[in-house]
Amino acid sequence: AAGAGALANVPTVLRKTLSSWVGFSNLPNQVHRRSVRRGFQFVAMVVGESGLGKSTLINTLFETKLYQPKVIPDPGADRGKTVQIESISAEIEENGVRLKLTVVDTPGFGDYVNNEECWKPIVDNIEARYDAYLEQENRVNRLKMTDNRVHACIYFIQPTGHALKPIDIEFLKRLHTKVNLIPVIAKADTLTEEEVELFKQRVLADIEYHGIRIFQPPSYEKDDEETAQENDEIISKIPFAVVGSDSVVQAPDGRHVRGRSYPWGVIEVDNEQHCDFVKLRQMLVRTHMEELREHTNDVLYENYRTDKLRAMGVAQDESVFKETNPAVKQAEERAMHEAKLAKMEAEMKMVFQQKVQEKEQKLKQSEEELYARHREMKEALEKQRLELEDKKRRIESGRPLTPEKGSKKRFGLGK
């Protein structure tokens, strides 16, 4: 009760415009400088059956030969019985900004005769990383924390052109509350344009049917039209149909491009007409890397942490937790906002459909009326034409114009 009382006494915030420069508007620059000095950490996990082009795509994404092609084991060699987890780290720098990139690979996923529970070592690894972070948070000295949590998991879907396979569904269902999932259709150059579109629709339908949450940029940043449009464009490409290549080939017009050369032409990795690689890179590296890190920290890790602490018997007052944890509150608000938007959209759709139907009905009616009038006018004109022709014929033959009825008898012209 004391806590609730204290919260009720929060002073009202006054809005003031300053008359002179104080300096805190420089805060974003300070944050920017500090972040650049510290560098960034990003951990990406790649999951998918072997040979789907995981190493190639990572090399293509970060334009480094981070990954060396794996030695293909001899036939009959012991390949182990479970999924292995391997990670490679590299520090890459661009325009003075340092990024410590870690790629977590999961060789063996889906490669065995029995693939039951092949998601388990992956979930264990993600949770172990959360545990390590939690342990750092609980240390006395928290100054040098390293963030090795998985910020994004790129899941490679085999380009079958059918639908998701049970192993895909199982994996995505097990992982969607633990990590930001980014599904991609691997080796999209093996499908035609229509096949890719159809396959995407089926994959999305499967994802929706199974209630799987995948990462996508928020589409309601109304305060910034450009960003909203950019996000919508990215969303429209999910699941990204990707093509990877770390070699440069010559296009028919002589340009040297990253791509794959075939007897019938060249697939350019960086050409948006050819595949969705550019949009994937835009989301993952250029526009939403921070969002991925934030979502991992504020929602996924936070949920894991809460469950873990609860299981350990650490009770928390839910309402105070929500009040004091802006991230949870924000996530809740966002969900509510999304639900409200979805409801509004459905209502608007209904009204729109109704209006369209009414309009169509009216148009149909006026079209019919128009046709009828047109027919009438045509008939009247045709009648007039016939009469005129008849008149003309009479004049030409020197016959009097009237009377018409019985004229032959009266003028003695009949037999």
Interface with ligand GTP, residue 274, by CB under 6 A = no
Contact 279, 237 (CB under 8 A): yes
Omega of the bond leading into 69 within 30 degrees of 0 (cis): no
Which one among 41, 44, 45, 55 touches ligand GTP, defined by CB under 6 A?
Answer: 55
Which one among 129, 149, 178, 187 touches ligand GTP, defined by CB under 6 A?
Answer: 187
CB of 6 to ligand GTP, least distance (A): 55
Selected range binding ligand GTP among 51-59, 95-103, 167-175, 352-360, rule: CB under 6 A: 51-59
Strands 152-157 and 40-47, bridge-based pairing: parallel
Of 270 and 294, which has the nearer Cβ to ligand GTP?
270
Task: Say how far apart CA 246 and CA 238 lie, in whole Å.
Answer: 23
Of 219 and 271, which has the nearer Cβ to ligand GTP?
271
- Nearest residue by C-beta to ligand GTP? 53
Contact 218, 231 (CB under 8 A): yes
Which residue spans within 24-77 are E strands per DSSP? 40-47
Selected range binding ligand GTP among 23-31, 48-56, 224-232, 337-345, rule: CB under 6 A: 48-56
CB of 160 to ligand GTP, least distance (A): 14
Judged by CB under 6 A, the number of residues near ligand GTP is: 16
**Locate tokens 């052109």: which residue?**
161
Q: How many helices (H) and strands (E) does the chain have?
A: 13, 9
Task: Say how far apart CA 170 and CA 82 lie, in whole Å.
Answer: 17
Contact 214, 238 (CB under 8 A): yes
Task: Say how far apart CA 337 and CA 332 lie, in whole Å.
Answer: 9
CB of 249 to ligand GTP, least distance (A): 12
CB of 190 to ligand GTP, least distance (A): 6
Of 53 and 217, which has the nearer Cβ to ligand GTP?
53
Give me the sign of the Cα torsion angle 219, 221, 222, 227: negative
Which one among 52, 103, 150, 266 touches ligand GTP, defined by CB under 6 A?
Answer: 52
Task: Say how far apart CA 299 and CA 343 lie, in whole Å.
Answer: 24
Of 150 and 275, which has the nearer Cβ to ligand GTP?
275
Selected range binding ligand GTP among 50-58, 170-178, 361-369, 381-389, rule: CB under 6 A: 50-58
φ/ψ (deg, to 5) at 266 = -120, 130
Site string for ligand GTP, 94-123 (x = CB under 6 A): -------------x----------------
Task: Say how far apart CA 415 and CA 402 lie, in whole Å.
Answer: 20
Give me the sign of the Cα torsion angle 223, 225, 227, 233: positive
Which one among 51, 121, 161, 218 touches ligand GTP, defined by CB under 6 A?
Answer: 51
Task: Tell me the one-letter amino acid at 249.
Answer: V
Task: Say how far apart CA 236 and CA 171 lie, in whole Å.
Answer: 23
CB of 106 to ligand GTP, least distance (A): 8
Selected range binding ligand GTP among 45-53, 85-93, 113-121, 141-149, rule: CB under 6 A: 45-53
Selected range binding ligand GTP among 81-89, 126-134, 182-190, 360-368, rule: CB under 6 A: 182-190
120-137 and 166-175 are packed helices; what angle lies between their axes, rounded to 10 degrees?
10
Which one among 54, 129, 149, 295 touches ligand GTP, defined by CB under 6 A?
Answer: 54
**Locate tokens 């934030």: which residue?**
294
Of 56 and 282, which has the nearer Cβ to ligand GTP?
56
Site for ligand GTP in 200-259 (CB under 6 A): 243-244
The helix/strand/coil state of 152 is strand
Of 190 and 306, which has the nearer Cβ to ligand GTP?
190
Which one among 32, 33, 70, 79 touches ligand GTP, defined by CB under 6 A?
Answer: 70
**245 backbone φψ class: left, alpha, beta (φ>0; ψ -120 to 50):** beta
The helix/strand/coil state of 87 is strand
Footprint on this chain of ligand GTP (rule: CB under 6 A): 50-56, 69-70, 107, 187, 189-190, 243-244, 260
